[in-house]
């Protein structure tokens, strides 16, 4: 996948709209995880240094309407203003006449963050007229929002068809690392997929089975696959309506692996008595909440041989320390490898962050859902318009 790049776009002296994903977790009006903001800064600084006038657009949360003030981008601006000189806040809602008028006042070197795109319903409706009203705010546009590029939205999938457009530095990195992991990996290529829902991750598991030498499963999603194979899973979290759809996944090849032992408890609560059993021995009144030590050891042995590792999804209910060991051990093993190591997903990155292992990974994706879609090989509505002819 070859995208047009921001460094190839004719930007000197132009007004550039940068679509970022500053939909970051905030609490009491303060940003609590700035990863996505930090990732976009090189593109903003690059454009500022080239004498551009910069219009920054993003959504935040899922506002009902424009009066959803706790989803104002003012709080993100407050964070940004401490790190970037020359940043301004425009409280005008993008797409309005007032926002267009305000965009005409942006000066050379200014970085102006506008109010929440989703305060206008046209954003999520991918409304063409709304996209056209955004296009008036700049001469060209840069997509620096990989994490929303799997969605159709006016500023993501339509705006880049209306203006000269290109990928920002972080988007370029995402496509480079995730793309080459699939297309030209150092082998063996090992994927680790865990997390909650088999329904959201089945397509990526199937795609990875095509590319990978091993696919190691954990988390609640493995329970549904075990159940489909006739293994008793007790009261474990499963998706009953997915059992039929995963029956064809073969566990008798070497490639697809499920846990061989598990940590279980009667309740998914801190303080519940946890025990370790072979995967076939889960009684009716227990829940599988983590992979067991033998599974960790087996996965570690496979991982030690890897040339490339792609990881998404925790191995267990890691929010509770009693069920975090599988995830923590896998994180430590992967972090210690000399292989190319790539991880992504909200909870997965939380787990890595908690262990302070982020720097030991080759690449951390800013996309959760977007990373999965990309690995599936699904067309990305925000990237397709940026493809080189």
138 noted as active-site residue = no
Report CA Rg, the chain. Answer: 23
- 346 is a site residue for Mg ion (CB under 5 A): yes
Stretch that binds Mg ion, among 94-102, 115-123, 202-210, 341-349 (CB under 5 A): 341-349
Whole-angstrom Cα distance, residue 54 to residue 45? Answer: 10
- Residue 252 makes CB contacts below 8 A (sequence gap 6+) with none
Q: Which is nearer to ligand ADP, 160 or 219 (CB)?
A: 219
Q: Which does 313 bind (CB under 5 to 8 A by kind): Mg ion, ligand ADP, none?
A: ligand ADP
- 347 is a site residue for ligand ADP (CB under 6 A): yes
122 noted as active-site residue = no
Both structure tokens of 133: 């009203």
- 347 is a site residue for Mg ion (CB under 5 A): yes
The b-or-e profile of 263-276 (16+ CB within 10 A means b, else e) is bbbeebeeebebee
- 316 is a site residue for ligand ADP (CB under 6 A): yes
Strand order in the sheet with 261-265: 274-278, 261-265, 287-291
Residues 320-339 that bind ligand ADP (CB under 6 A): none
Position of minimal CB gap to Mg ion? 346
Beta bridge partners of 57: 19
Answer yes or no: are the C-beta atoms of 14 and 139 closer than 8 Å. Answer: yes
Q: Which is nearer to Mg ion, 286 or 347 (CB)?
A: 347
Whole-angstrom Cα distance, residue 116 to residue 66? Answer: 8
Residues 293-312 that bind ligand ADP (CB under 6 A): 312
Q: Which is nearer to ligand ADP, 95 or 314 (CB)?
A: 314
Of the candidate residues 195, 259, 381, 382, the single one contacting ligand ADP (CB under 6 A): 195
Of the candidate residues 45, 68, 139, 319, the single one contacting ligand ADP (CB under 6 A): 319
Q: Which does 289 bind (CB under 5 to 8 A by kind): Mg ion, ligand ADP, none?
A: ligand ADP
Whole-angstrom Cα distance, residue 219 to residue 262? Answer: 10
Q: State how far the alpha carbon of 252 is from the alpha carbons of 25, 236, 346, in Å.
A: 42, 23, 31
Residue tagged active-site, from 179, 336, 369, 377: 369
Both structure tokens of 24: 């970051």
Q: Which of these, 286, 350, 313, 330, lies nearest to 197 by C-alpha position?
A: 313
Q: Which is nearer to Mg ion, 333 or 371 (CB)?
A: 371
Of the candidate residues 114, 317, 361, 374, the single one contacting ligand ADP (CB under 6 A): 317
Name the one residue in this structure whose structure tokens are 């903003």. Answer: 44
4 noted as active-site residue = no
Residue tagged active-site, from 19, 36, 50, 118: 36
Tell the burial category of 206 from Cβ atoms under 10 Å away from its Cβ (0-12, 13-18, 19+). middle
Q: Compute how many other C-beta atoms are within 10 angstroms of the C-beta atom of residue 244.
A: 9
Residues 136-155 that bind ligand ADP (CB under 6 A): none
Helix (H) or strand (E) holding 24: none
Of the candidate residues 95, 168, 314, 381, the single one contacting ligand ADP (CB under 6 A): 314
271 noted as active-site residue = no
Of the candidate residues 153, 289, 310, 375, the single one contacting ligand ADP (CB under 6 A): 289
Whole-angstrom Cα distance, residue 262 to residue 287? Answer: 10
Task: Using CB under 5 A, list all residues that contact Mg ion.
Answer: 346-347
Task: Using CB under 6 A, list all residues that contact ligand ADP.
Answer: 195-196, 219-220, 237, 288-289, 312-314, 316-319, 345-348, 368
Query: Catalytic site residues?
Result: 36, 197, 346, 369
């Amino acid at each position: 996948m070859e995208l047009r790049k921001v460094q190839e776009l004719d930007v000197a002296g132009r007004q550039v709209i940068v679509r970022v994903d500053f939909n970051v977790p905030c609490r009491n009006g303060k940003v609590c995880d700035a990863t996505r903001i930090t990732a976009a800064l090189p593109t903003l600084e690059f454009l500022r240094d080239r004498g551009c006038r910069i219009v920054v657009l993003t959504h935040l949360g899922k506002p009902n309407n424009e009066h959803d003030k706790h989803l104002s981008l003012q709080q993100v601006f407050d964070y940004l203003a401490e790190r970037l000189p020359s940043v301004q806040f425009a409280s005008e809602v993008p797409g309005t006449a007032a926002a267009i008028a305000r965009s005409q006042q942006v000066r050379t070197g200014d970085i102006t963050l506008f109010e929440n795109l989703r305060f206008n319903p046209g954003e999520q409706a991918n409304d063409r007229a709304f996209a056209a009203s955004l296009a008036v705010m700049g001469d060209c546009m840069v997509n620096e929002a990989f994490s929303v590029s799997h969605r159709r939205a006016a500023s993501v999938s339509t705006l880049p068809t209306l203006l000269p457009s290109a990928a920002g530095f972080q988007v370029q990195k995402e496509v480079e690392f995730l793309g080459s992991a699939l297309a030209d990996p150092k082998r063996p290529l090992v994927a680790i997929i865990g997390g909650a829902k088999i329904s959201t991750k089945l397509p990526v598991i199937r795609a990875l089975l095509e590319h990978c030498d091993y696919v190691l499963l954990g988390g609640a999603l493995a329970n549904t696959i075990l159940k489909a194979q006739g293994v008793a899973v007790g009261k474990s979290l499963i998706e009953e309506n997915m059992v039929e759809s995963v029956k064809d996944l073969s566990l008798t090849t070497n490639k697809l692996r499920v846990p061989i032992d598990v940590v279980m408890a009667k309740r998914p609560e801190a303080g519940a008595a946890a025990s370790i059993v072979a995967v076939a021995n889960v009684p009716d009144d227990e829940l599988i909440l983590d992979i067991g030590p033998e599974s960790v050891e087996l996965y570690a042995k496979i991982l030690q041989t890897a040339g490339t590792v792609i990881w998404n999804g925790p191995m267990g209910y890691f929010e509770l320390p009693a069920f975090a060991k599988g995830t923590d051990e896998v994180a430590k093993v992967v972090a210690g490898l000399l292989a190319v190591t790539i991880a992504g997903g909200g909870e997965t990155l939380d787990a890595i962050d908690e262990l302070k292992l982020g720097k030991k990974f080759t690449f951390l994706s800013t996309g959760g859902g977007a990373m999965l879609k990309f690995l599936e090989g699904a067309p990305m509505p925000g990237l397709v318009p940026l493809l080189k002819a």
